[in-house]
Amino acid sequence: MAEQRRWYSGMLSTEDWWAVWIGLFFVLLGLLAAVSGVESTGWIVKFSKWVDITKSFKASHKGLLSPGLSLILNYVIFTLATCTGAKFMKWDVKKYFTAWTIIFWLTVIFYIIGQNAYIAATSLERKKYGIDWSLSLGGAYYIIALFAGLFIGNLTPKRFRTFIKEAAKPEWFIKVAIVCLGTKLGLKAIEATGFAMHLLFAGCCATIAAYLLFWPLAYTVSRKVFKLTKEWSACLASAISICGVSASIATGGAIRARPIVPIMISSLVVVFAVSELIILPGVLTTYWSNEPIVAGASLGLTVKTDGADAASGAILDELIRAKVAGQGIHWDEGWILASAIMTKIWIDMFIGIWAFVLAVVWVWHIERRPGEKVPKSEIWFRFPKFVLGYFIAWFLVMGLGLADIIPFGDLKFGIKPIEGSLRKFFFMLTFTSIGIVTDFRELAKEGLGRLAAAYGTILAIIIIPLGFFLAWLFHHGMMPPTAP
């Protein structure tokens, strides 16, 4: 229990902390490049739209390495970084390495396919690529990776599925990407400090109102309508209201639920989040492209895994910008995604607080364990640590830029490959992995039908409508800065 843990427990043994270490390692490489001019981030491979496949990827800094060498170096460095984490987390490194290698190269293939100009080029870009038609599916590479992952996770032989899951770690990959995303917000905040701060505070306010309303409503429906027990209802309500898998597990720990409870609910969270990831960006682009920040924030409030939220935010960002580009509006890339991440990150931060509240209620009132104390340190242990990495990256880059300690041009030179190419590649790894770990057969398990019905109903009648309303209430009228 918490009494035996130190504040630094888990720093070398949990996925959450390893996302921080790996993410900040790349951020520091970026800052090193910015300060010294050394090409410490130029090797990161950048995928581009292509007609000629030999131009589909290259090193981020022009002329530094050949495309092939850049790609191989990426494989080597990412492999070393993630295998180090795997080793410290006591995973089976041999199995992880083999499965990772397959996932890495499959992801590269999906990325290249999805960037084909006939698939991805917007109507305005066709001339540049010498083509007379294209599907204008910006972000199609994410969907290709997702569906290919779903195929692997659901339709390949069981032995292969089990093996490949050794390295399919969507939550880990997305957390690394989110730490790197902090640098993007840092760079953007230098150019538009006011807007970034508005987004931060509006997201925080929307989240406070949202989780205080989501949880009790979801809990009541679970208990009263679906007749679930307190144990199932508390975990389900946390999963669907706060932050999916993490919240379900945190709540399970706080109320001492049987291990099977958060595990079964977590499988539902993943399946529903992937369904939302497929459906919501298209719907929001169709109906809410005039309120891009609202649309982004609504994803953060309604999609309940970090991976699926960031992934759907990335798709939404691409889709909405591609749509309005046709009307001559060019919003800067990344702000819609940032709004999706911002609300989600605030929700993540409340996991610890809510787990603490539930632990107190369960110990003192529901299970009445005389004399047992719930230490306040429980909040720290439940706190999602990758959020620290995100804010450190954000404020470090922003602070160094605003204080003019590092000139903006130099910061951009060093950080751009981290916040752009590297982050997007980890997003792609997330998409492939989400597909692989999403097992639709879970829904057929005994008893899960009732849970799924409860989850789906609460999502449809409470979380999505209320989440959309709150996103609108706290963000309407906010527009992303125009692209430079």
**C-beta closer to another protein: residue 373 or 450:** 450
Measure the CA–CA gap between 352 and 222, rounded to whole angstroms. 22
Least Cβ distance, residue 395 to another protein (angstroms)? 20
- Could you tell me whether strands 57-59 and 45-47 are parallel, antiparallel, or unpaired per DSSP bridges? antiparallel
- Binding test (CB under 8 A) with another protein, winner from 8, 365, 371, 484: 365
CB-CB neighbours of 292 under 10 Å: 26
**C-beta closer to another protein: residue 328 or 477:** 477
Contact status: 151 vs another protein (CB under 8 A):
no
Count of residues of this chain found to bind another protein when the rule CB under 8 A is applied:
46
Residues 6+ apart with CB under 8 A from 114: 120, 139, 140, 141, 142, 143, 144, 145
Kind plus residue range of the DSSP H or E element containing 142: helix 140-155
**C-beta closer to another protein: residue 404 or 446:** 446
Contact status: 290 vs another protein (CB under 8 A):
no
CB-CB neighbours of 88 under 10 Å: 16
**C-beta closer to another protein: residue 231 or 378:** 231
Both tokens of residue 418? 């981290």
**C-beta closer to another protein: residue 96 or 474:** 474
Query: Is residue 50 helix, strand or coil?
Result: strand
Measure the CA–CA gap between 435 and 144, rounded to whole angstroms. 10
Near another protein in 187-246, by CB under 8 A:
194, 198, 201-202, 205-206, 208-209, 211-213, 215-217, 219-220, 223-224, 227-230, 232
Measure the CA–CA gap between 130 and 135, rounded to whole angstroms. 14
Count of all residues that appear for the chain in the document: 484
Contact status: 81 vs another protein (CB under 8 A):
no
Contact status: 479 vs another protein (CB under 8 A):
yes
- Binding test (CB under 8 A) with another protein, winner from 361, 396, 402, 464: 361
Contact status: 477 vs another protein (CB under 8 A):
yes
Near another protein in 416-475, by CB under 8 A:
445-448, 450-451, 470, 473-475
Contact status: 324 vs another protein (CB under 8 A):
no
Both tokens of residue 93? 């490194």
The angle at the Cα of 319, spanning 184 to 55, to the nearest 5 degrees, equals 70
Both tokens of residue 307? 């991976």
Least Cβ distance, residue 17 to another protein (angstroms)? 27
The angle at the Cα of 70, spanning 65 to 73, to the nearest 5 degrees, equals 125
**C-beta closer to another protein: residue 176 or 242:** 242
Contact status: 249 vs another protein (CB under 8 A):
no
Contact status: 482 vs another protein (CB under 8 A):
no
- Summarize the chain as % helix, strand, coil (round to 5): 75, 0, 25
**C-beta closer to another protein: residue 113 or 213:** 213
Binding residues (CB under 8 A) for another protein: these are 194, 198, 201-202, 205-206, 208-209, 211-213, 215-217, 219-220, 223-224, 227-230, 232, 256, 258-260, 264, 361, 365-367, 445-448, 450-451, 470, 473-479
